[in-house]
Amino acid sequence: MNGKKHPDTIHSPNKRARRGYQSDASFRPAIACVGIDFGTSRTGFAYAFMDRQDEIFCREPGGQEPGKTLTNLLLTRDEEFIAFGSRAREEYYEGDPSALFFENFKMLLNEVDGGSYPVVSALNGREASLRTVLAHSLKYVKDEAMATLNRCSAVEIKADQVKWVVTVPAIWSDCAKAMMRKAALDAALIKEETSQLLQLALEPEAACMVCERENVCLRAGDQFMVVDCGGGTIDITMSCVHSCNPLSLDELAAPSGGPWGSTYVDREFEKFILELLGEQAFNCSKESVVWIEVLRTWEAVKNSFDPKGLAKVAFSNLNGGVQGGMSMGTGEGASGRSGGRVINLAPLLVLNNLQLEPLVQAFNQKHPDKPLQIRMMTAVMLPNELIMSFFAPVLRNITRHISRLISSHRIDYIFVVGGFAESKVLQENLKFNFEACDRRIVVPTRPSLAVVRGAVMFQLSQGERFRSRIARFTYGCDILEPFDPFDRRHRDRKLHFKTEEGKMVPYVRIFNPLVLKGTRMSPSFEVTQAQFESVEDSQDMCDFDILASVEEEVQNIEDAKTIGSVGVKLKAGQEAALSLSFGKTEIQATAMNLTTGEKSRAVIDWGFDSV
C-alpha cells in the first residue's frame, strides 16, 4: 500500500467541536492573583497583590483563618445554594434533613472519560449533577476570594482583574483537568473557557515552589520528589534541578500515585463501625445527620493520633505485610496514653435502639488483639492497635509505591506536603522507611497550605519552570490499513470492505502512534506525521480522530480513547499530514493538506457539550 495511511473517516465515532484559543475580550491588567486549592476533603484559597508579590495570604473560605475549610456543599432540594464548607456541615446537622449535603465529590471528576458529567449522591441518597455541585462550590470560593480582595483594596477589583490558578492532582487525566476549566467557567471565574486569566497548576508542582523557597537550597543536579498527601489522593512528582535562579526543572518521570489519601483511613474506620453495629444499623446511621457528628469525632481522634515510640515495631510489621494486625503492645497501647481515642456512639445507639455492651463483647471476641473498652456506657475507647490497622492499608500502598520509584531514581529530598502530611503516623512511616544519610524527608511548617501558597507563587513566577516533561499517555490517531494476514496487528480484527476497481478490498482499523508514553517533551514539543491519504475516491474530507492510551504499545485500538478530532479538505490523490503539539495543559492538533497547503487546527475538546 505504498506506505500510505488512510485516516479512518468512515468509523470516526463522534465529531467534536473544534476551537482555537481566544484572547480575553476586554483585557485589563491584573491587580491580584488568587490560587484555589479545591481539594477532595478541604478547600482553601491564597492571594497576593501584584504590587506586593512577596506577601502571600491564605484564607479559609467563609472564615478568617489561614487554613482550608471542608469541601462540603449544602443545597436546597431544588439545588439552590445554602452553604459551603464547615458551615454546610453545621447547617445540615441543625436544619432541614431533605436538603442535599455533598462531600468527597471531587474524586468523581477523574472517573469520567469525556461523555457526560456523572451524578453525585447527597448524604440522603438524592442525586445532582457533578457539574451543578462543582459550579456552586467554586462560585462560593470565588465570591469569598473577591470579597476578601475588595476588603483590603482601595479600588474595586473585578474578577477579570484577577489571575486565577486552580490546582489539580498531577495524576488526573487531561480530560479531568479540562472539566475543571469548564467548572471555572460555570462559576464565572472566567468569561471564556479558553481565557488565559486561568491557569491550572499541578498540585505537587505548586507545592514544590514553597518547599524550594523555604526549606532547602536546591543545587543544580539535585533530584527530588514531592509527595502531596491529601484527603483523596497521594500525588507524586519527581524532578531534577537543571539550574537554579531562576529555578528550571526536568521532570524525571510522569506523575504517579493513587487513591491512598487520608479519607481512605476514614473508610477503614467506617468498616469498623459497620462490623460493630451490623449492616442494617450502619446503613440507617449513614443516612442520618448524626453520622456527621461521629465522623467529626473520628477526625479529631485520627488527626491527634501519635504512635510515638512504637514506630519501629509498627512500621517493620507493616513492611512485612500487615495482614493480621499490628503488634504494638496491649490494652491502652504501649505508649500508655488513652486520651483522645474515645468515640461517643450514643447517637447511633439511640437511633438504632441498640445496647453497646453486647456489641463490644462480640467485637472483642473476634479481635482479642485489639479490644475495645467501654467508657461512660455509650462510648468506646479505640486501642492503638485498632487505629493503626485503619492506617495500615494506605501506609502499605504509599510505602510500596515510593519504594518502587526510588529503586529506579536517585532521590536526594522527599518533600511531604498536604493535610495528611500533618499526620505523625505518616511522617514516622516515611522517615522510618526512606530517610537515609543521602536522602532527607522534608515537611514544611504548614504542609496543608503548601499547595495553595505554591499555586500563587507558580502564577507569579511567570515563566515555565519545566524544561521538559514526560508524556503521560501514548497519543496517536486511527487509520485504515489494507488487511495483511501476516501482520500481527491485523489478526482477529474486524474487517471493513471498500470497493476498489470493482473488487471488495478488506481493511482493518488500527492505532497509529504519534507520541509514545514516557517520551521526554520540551514545552514546545511537536510531532508531525505525513503520508495520509483518503481511502475512497468519493471522499473530500480527511478526519483524524486523536486517541490516547495508558498502554505504551497499543496493540488493540480498543485500548485507546478518542480525545478529540481534527479534519482538513482532502481529495483523492492528495496527501495530508497530522501534527500534535503539547502546550502546558492542552494539546493542539493540526491537520494539513500538503498538496494545497490548507491547514486546520483544533484544541482538543473533550466533548462535554452534550451535557
Ligand X SMILES: Nc1ncnc2c1ncn2[C@@H]1O[C@H](COP(=O)(O)OP(=O)(O)OP(=O)(O)O)[C@@H](O)[C@H]1O
Residues that bind Mg ion (CB under 5 A): 39, 230
Type of residue found at 486: F
Q: Annotate 181-237 with three-state secondary structure.
A: HHHHHHCCCCCCCCCCCEEEEEHHHHHHHHHHHHCCCCCCCCEEEEEEECCCCEEEE
Closest C-alpha among 132, 125, 141, 402 to residue 256: 402
Minimum separation from the CB atom of position 488 to Mg ion (A): 44
Shortest Å distance, C-beta 131 to ligand X: 18
Q: Rank residues 104 and 352 by Cβ distance to ligand X and give the closer one.
A: 104
Handedness of CA 392, 394, 399, 401 (dihedral sign): positive
**Alpha carbons 209 and 443: distance in angstroms, whole number:** 13
Burial of 538 (0-12, 13-18, 19+ CB in 10 A): exposed
Nearer to Mg ion, 257 or 383 (CB): 257
CB of 448 to Mg ion, least distance (A): 8
* C-alpha to C-alpha distance for 207 and 431, rounded to whole angstroms: 20
Nearer to ligand X among residue 282 and residue 391 (C-beta) = 391
Nearer to ligand X, 66 or 95 (CB): 66
- For residue 80, what are the contacts with CB-CB under 8 A and spacing of at least 6? none
Grid-cell match 505554591, residue found: 454
From the CB of 2, what's the least distance to ligand X, in Å?
Answer: 51
* Residue 268 contact among Mg ion, ligand X, none, beta carbon within 5 to 8 Å by kind: none
Choose between 263 and 549: whose C-beta lies nearer to ligand X. Answer: 263
For ligand X, the closer CB: 452 or 578: 452
Strand partners, 527: 580
The item of ligand X, Mg ion, none sharing an interface with residue 529, based on CB under 5 to 8 Å by kind, is none
Q: Binds 319, which of ligand X, Mg ion, none (CB < 5 to 8 A, cut-off by type)?
A: none
Residue numbers of the site for ligand X (CB under 6 A)? 37, 39-42, 68, 71, 106, 203, 230-233, 261-263, 299, 302-303, 418-420, 422-423, 448
Cell (9 digits) for 552: 505504551
In the complex, minimum distance from the CB of residue 302 to ligand X, in angstroms, rounded to a whole number: 5
Is 322 in contact with 396 (CB distance < 8 Å)? yes
Q: Smallest distance from the beta carbon of 607 to Mg ion, in angstroms?
A: 27
Q: Of Mg ion, ligand X, none, which one does residue 423 interact with (CB within 5 to 8 Å by kind)?
A: ligand X
d(CA 257, CA 107): 14
* DSSP category for residue 117: P
- Give the one entry of Mg ion, ligand X, none that residue 517 binds, where binding means its C-beta sits below a cut-off of 5 to 8 angstroms depending on kind: none
Taking the complex as a whole, how short is the minimal distance between the CB of residue 228 and ligand X, in angstroms?
6
**Nearer Cβ to ligand X, position 117 or 420?**
420
